[in-house]
């Protein structure tokens, strides 16, 4: 009986040893992808809904400041701009999420979009503002601003010579703007590039968008959007 008991214990020990030995092996085989998984986990924490934090002491403010700083750093690197950490994070995140979306004429989804479709979806998501669908009709509803006075969220319009407006994008900073290009989908380009510098026509500001901050209360948001809707011509 003693021998049988010892044999059972030995078999159990061997089985447990086998199970635990599999964990390091599995981790080793996944070692190449560990950095990517860690980065994805970090970005999900940064860009996703903010986790609940304690309500006592100074920790919540510290955690928020740290999260915001890391998020702004990520957006700056991804979008290729220098940020002052005061920009609208919702705008930066939404544009970042759309990067790489393929171009598709007449479409406005993450599966494919054209330039005006991209702009309308970003403004709907970030500001709750419904823009007109074509770049030419958008231009008729904005307030013109000088190229030197452009701010993040302003629209930039392009045309060939004296022809009609054919393209629109969203200005970011440092001469950079986000747009859906027919030869590359949603991307960030520079107004200093020869093609865009030559075809740049004007910049415009959408009523309400310049005043709506990411920290606005629901009441402030509703008031601003109501004012914007009444200010925009039909």
Among all residues, which ones are annotated catalytic?
A: 115, 167, 179
What are φ and ψ of residue 222, in 5° steps?
A: -60, -40
Helix (H, G, I), strand (E, B) or coil at 111: coil
Is the dihedral angle over the CA atoms 35, 41, 46, 48 positive or is it negative?
positive
Q: Which residues of 10-48 are buried (b: 16+ CB within 10 A; e: fewer)?
A: eeeeeeeeeeeeeeeeeeeeeeeeeeeeeeeeeeeebbe
Where does residue 185 fall: left (phi above 0), alpha (psi -120 to 50 degrees), or beta otherwise?
A: left
Per DSSP, the three-state class of 35 is helix
């Amino acid at each position: 009986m003693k021998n049988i008991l010892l044999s059972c214990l030995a078999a159990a020990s061997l089985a447990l040893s086998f199970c635990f030995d599999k964990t390091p092996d599995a981790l080793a085989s996944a070692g190449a992808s560990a950095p990517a998984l860690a980065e994805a986990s970090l970005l999900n924490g940064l860009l996703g809904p903010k986790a609940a934090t304690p309500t006592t002491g100074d920790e919540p403010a510290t955690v928020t400041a740290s999260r915001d700083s890391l998020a702004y750093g990520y957006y700056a690197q991804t979008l290729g701009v220098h940020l002052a950490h005061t920009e609208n994070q919702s705008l930066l995140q939404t544009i970042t999420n759309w990067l790489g979306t393929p171009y598709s004429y007449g479409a406005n989804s993450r599966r494919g979009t054209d330039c005006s479709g991209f702009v309308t979806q970003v403004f709907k998501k970030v500001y709750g503002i419904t823009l007109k669908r074509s770049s030419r009709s958008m231009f008729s509803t904005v307030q013109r601003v000088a190229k030197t006075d452009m701010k993040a969220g302003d629209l930039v319009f392009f045309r060939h010579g004296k022809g009609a407006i054919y393209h629109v994008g969203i200005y970011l900073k440092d001469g950079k703007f986000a747009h859906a290009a027919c030869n590359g989908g949603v991307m960030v380009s520079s107004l200093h590039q020869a093609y865009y510098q030559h075809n740049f026509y004007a910049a415009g500001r959408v009523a309400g968008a310049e005043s709506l901050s990411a920290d606005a209360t629901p009441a402030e948001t509703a008031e601003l959007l109501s004012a914007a809707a009444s200010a925009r011509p039909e």
